[in-house]
Structure 1
Amino acid sequence: MALRNRILFWAVIALVVVSLAVWAFSPRAVDVDIVEVQRGPMTVSVEEEGETRIHDVFEISAPVAGQLERIGLDAGDCVYEGETVVAVIKPIAAPVLDSRSEKQLSAVADAAAAAVRAAAAELDRVRAELSRAETDANRYRQLAPGGSIARQVLERAEAEERTLHAAARAAEAALAMRRQELAAARAALRPSSASEGGELIDVIAPIDGVLLRRLRQSEGPVAQGAPLVEVGDPDEIEIISDLLSEDAVRISPGDPVTISDWGGPDLYGKVRRIEPFAFTKVSALGIEEQRVNVVMDLSPGQPSARLGHGYRVDVAVEVWSADDVLTAPMTALFKQDRAWSVYRVERGRARLRQVEIGHMNGQVAEILAGLEPGDTLVEHPSSRIEDRVLVRARQSAGPVMEESPGMTADAVPLSASWDTDASGCDFLIR
């Protein structure tokens, strides 16, 4: 009886030791983060920094040499075509002209008069094209709801109409500038005396817009042709961004653009032009890159009144999109044997699978073959993860604490109180 008890006791001890050894040397499951393969929309964009600029910036110069009076306008002040005096110049009394100088100035005046006629003819031509474009656009607007024409035809007609509107304004401004040049040429041709030096010449704004910069403010002598101020129409904001040449070739005019990180809600627009000339730019890392300027227009009705000339923005140009594709996070993909691979979780084990991918946008990748919707993948696989290794999902952190009701003013969404009419210029709301 004692021998039996002793054998039973040592058998139990041996069983416990063997069990502990098996437990100690058995493989342990590795804690991993997991992600799921899903179907849904996917967009591929080219992202870069950009800069805003007014489409047409007019630099107003001194028409004659003389004594410039102090410019009282400040940057941001509204100016109106043919009304606002941006500068006043007291011309220097010109000496009595000899025969040769008189003939030269007469030729300059004749050339200025010819330039005025040419500018007037150009304005008539642009207005005629604008009238035709408006007629076509109105006709297409009537035909589009019935499906008689393609939507692209209407969009091209409306784009041509907007372009010709801008061209007409530019032609009007050019005609005004040519008239100013003619007035200056005729003033220089007139015989002058010492008393005529006191006549003041007003420099008038050639367009409706705002004063962008004062290139000269203080009173003092000024030479003919010296720049005084810059004016422009803030309603004609465009965005320019220099993209890598390999990204620029993927973009086409008309591609949608998202503008963000400018201080307000996201804005939207379209690519208008990809410039054909590339240039070399040295990056922050000292690498020479070939860059191409891409010009983008904002879509109508955007709350961009606070955007000005030279503001920094971030742009994302959409180059590809699909509504229903199979995607997997990029954090689960890695290269092995020159092929994209993943670790798919099957019955508690990580199984190595090769996949075929299509488009990538830095966050997710389009899966063409190798996975199915709902598959669970190992995210950020480490060196401990191998084929057939036991894995288990890492416990997620606790719930994120919600924002307290006493939110600070800084946390209020910017768009909640965004003012879209900040210019105050009457011409913007006429």
Structure 2
Amino acid sequence: MRSIKLSLAIAGAILLIAVVVASIIRGSSTAAVEVKTAQAEERIFEDKVLTTGRIEAFRRAEVVAPFPARLLSLKVKDGDYVAAGQLLGVLDTDEMEKRLGETRAALAVAEAELAQAQTPAALEVTQAEAALKEAEAQFQDARRKLERYRSLFEQGAVPEADLEAAETEYVKAEANRQSAEARLTALQKSHDEKIRVLQARVEQARVAVDNARQEAAKGRLTAPIGGVVLTTAREGTFLQPGTIILTISDRNSLQVVAEVSEQDVRGIAAGQEAEIHWAGSPGKTLPAKVSRVSPAVTRSNIHETENVVRVYLDMERNDILPGATVDVVIHRVKPRKSLLIPNEALLDEGKTKTVFVVEGNLARKRTVTVGRSNELYTEILDGLKPGAAVVINPKNIKDGQPVRKIQAGAKASD
């Protein structure tokens, strides 16, 4: 009995030794992996885009050459403020004035022809009207006489020859009346048609004079709106129609046109606050607000080799001149306190975002809910607590794998 107990004790000791040895062997086969970590911390988080832009005006007007002419003089220069209607410059209008003189002469001729046609024609019509009136009176007399003679003839008071004479007189009077009516109608028609033609010529001549006068008046260049003069042509230059002489920008409606890279434009939206910095006012920050984002990518006006998206910002009136280049800071996320981890600690698994947290000597996988990201850090809304040590670049780490921290990463900072 004693020998049996001794044998069992020896067997148990051997089994215990085997388990310990196996554990040691197993532990040596899963050696801890060295990892870099960073601490999740609550710090100030912000997301901003730094870029450049140009001051432009919502409302602007171009003054162009209305006809081929030489620019005789300019009354303004770049940077001048002008009021609406103010004289800006004068073009050579010799040709326009010559044309105006020609049209005025043509109008005088047309008016004279009309007056000449109206006087004799009106006299002829008046005479024809008088002749018709006289013929009508003779016709009425002949009609009454014929009626009287018919009655007398029936009574036997006059011979048949007298009745026939009355009838002949009536027919003749009626023919005279019809002839007078026809003559008056013909004269009136001819007169009216001739007058209409001549009146039309007069009206055309007046329109030509008005047009020539307006063209000549365009030689005096006036400001269509009030604002700042941006560009001007040179005095003495011969200008073709449509050539821009100067541009006027309304300083009461300034906007900033910022150029943002395709990568940075994501997250920029109307209503976001921004800051404008201008070299002309060092140290001064001007507030602005995003009004709209262009829906298309275009070539940069400032750096011609780059493709950019234009972002438009409203700003209050100030001393910046239209055309000035400015530095722009757009706040996609204004400064706020958040739990942050480095972007390199985050794994993107489609709809799921995960991190590895070092707990003891093991890496544990955690699913997290994220907020916004900037160029360095990502907000953690759920899934981590402050102080958690997250693994940097954990692509080859598995859940539960032994790890050993070799270097503490930089803390999340503002």
The two structures have a TM-score, normalised by structure 1, of 0.49
Residues 52, 313 of structure 1: 8 Å contact kept: no
Separation of aligned partners in 1, 2:291 and 2:326:
19
Separation of aligned partners in 2, 1:22 and 1:282:
62
Q: Per chain length, whose mean CA-contact separation is higher, i.e. which structure has more relative contact order (CA < 8 Å, sep 6+)?
A: 2
**1:168-198 deviations in Å (ceiling 9; x for gaps):** xxxxxxxxxxxxxxxx62856xxxxxxxxxx
Residue in structure 2 matched with residue 309 of structure 1 by the alignment: 323
Match of 2:83, SS? coil
Q: Which amino acid aligns with 2:330?
A: A
Residue in structure 1 matched with residue 63 of structure 2 by the alignment: 60
Match of 2:206 among 95, 103, 107: 103
Q: CA deviation at 1:47?
A: 7.4
Match of 1:36 among 36, 39, 45: 39
Q: Which has more helix, going by share of residues? A: 2
Residue in structure 1 matched with residue 214 of structure 2 by the alignment: 185
Residue in structure 2 matched with residue 87 of structure 1 by the alignment: 89
Q: CA deviation at 1:202?
A: 4.8
Residue in structure 1 matched with residue 189 of structure 2 by the alignment: none
Instruction: State the Cα RMSD in Å.
Output: 4.9
Q: CA deviation at 1:396?
A: 8.0
Match of 1:331, SS? helix
Separation of aligned partners in 2, 1:221 and 1:282:
33
Residues 342, 354 of structure 1: 8 Å contact kept: yes
Q: CA deviation at 1:222?
A: 3.6
Q: Which amino acid aligns with 1:298?
A: M
Match of 1:251, SS? coil
Q: Which amino acid aligns with 1:59?
A: E
Separation of aligned partners in 1, 2:73 and 2:209:
32
Residues 64, 243 of structure 2: 8 Å contact kept: yes
Match of 2:385, SS? coil
Residues 254, 316 of structure 2: 8 Å contact kept: no
Match of 1:341, SS? strand
- Count of aligned pairs between the two proteins: 277
Match of 1:69, SS? strand
Match of 1:251 among 269, 283, 297: 269
**1:42-94 deviations in Å (ceiling 9; x for gaps):** 445677765431222221234665432265865x4424327975433231132
* Percent of matched pairs sharing the same residue: 19
Q: Which amino acid aligns with 2:340?
A: T
Within a 5 Å distance, the mapping from 1:327-406 to structure 2 comes to 327-336=340-349, 339-381=352-394, 383=396, 387-394=400-407
From the superposition, tell whether residues 262 and 361 of structure 1 become closer, same or farther in structure 2 (CA, over 3 Å): farther
**1:306-339 deviations in Å (ceiling 9; x for gaps):** x642736545253x66844433232211124863
Separation of aligned partners in 2, 1:294 and 1:270:
10
Separation of aligned partners in 2, 1:372 and 1:230:
60
From the superposition, tell whether residues 299 and 41 of structure 1 become closer, same or farther in structure 2 (CA, over 3 Å): farther
Residue in structure 1 matched with residue 256 of structure 2 by the alignment: 239
Residues 39, 389 of structure 2: 8 Å contact kept: yes
Residues 108, 185 of structure 1: 8 Å contact kept: yes
Q: Which amino acid aligns with 1:297?
A: D
| 1:211 lines up with 2:234 in the alignment | no
Separation of aligned partners in 2, 1:242 and 1:77:
25
Q: CA deviation at 1:231?
A: 2.5
Q: Which amino acid aligns with 1:27?
A: A
Q: CA deviation at 1:25?
A: 8.2
Separation of aligned partners in 2, 1:50 and 1:379:
37
Separation of aligned partners in 2, 1:352 and 1:187:
83
**1:380-418 deviations in Å (ceiling 9; x for gaps):** 336478743322242789xxxxxxxxxxxxxxxxxxxxx
Match of 2:245 among 214, 221, 228: 228
Q: CA deviation at 1:372?
A: 0.6
From the superposition, tell whether residues 321 and 212 of structure 1 become closer, same or farther in structure 2 (CA, over 3 Å): closer
Gaps of 5+ in 2: 1-24, 107-201
Q: Which amino acid aligns with 2:363?
A: A
Residues 47, 317 of structure 1: 8 Å contact kept: no
Q: Which is greater in Rg?
A: 2
Q: Which amino acid aligns with 2:206?
A: K
Residues 350, 391 of structure 1: 8 Å contact kept: no
Q: CA deviation at 1:229?
A: 1.2
Residue in structure 1 matched with residue 151 of structure 2 by the alignment: none
From the superposition, tell whether residues 334 and 259 of structure 1 become closer, same or farther in structure 2 (CA, over 3 Å): farther
Separation of aligned partners in 2, 1:351 and 1:366:
20
From the superposition, tell whether residues 351 and 281 of structure 1 become closer, same or farther in structure 2 (CA, over 3 Å): same
Residue in structure 2 matched with residue 11 of structure 1 by the alignment: none
**1:1-29 deviations in Å (ceiling 9; x for gaps):** xxxxxxxxxxxxxxxxxxxx999989366
Q: CA deviation at 1:367?
A: 2.0
Separation of aligned partners in 2, 1:336 and 1:249:
21
Residues 268, 298 of structure 1: 8 Å contact kept: yes
**1:364-389 deviations in Å (ceiling 9; x for gaps):** 33323221122121223364787433
From the superposition, tell whether residues 321 and 26 of structure 1 become closer, same or farther in structure 2 (CA, over 3 Å): same
Residue in structure 1 matched with residue 313 of structure 2 by the alignment: 296
Separation of aligned partners in 2, 1:35 and 1:337:
23
Residues 39, 409 of structure 2: 8 Å contact kept: no
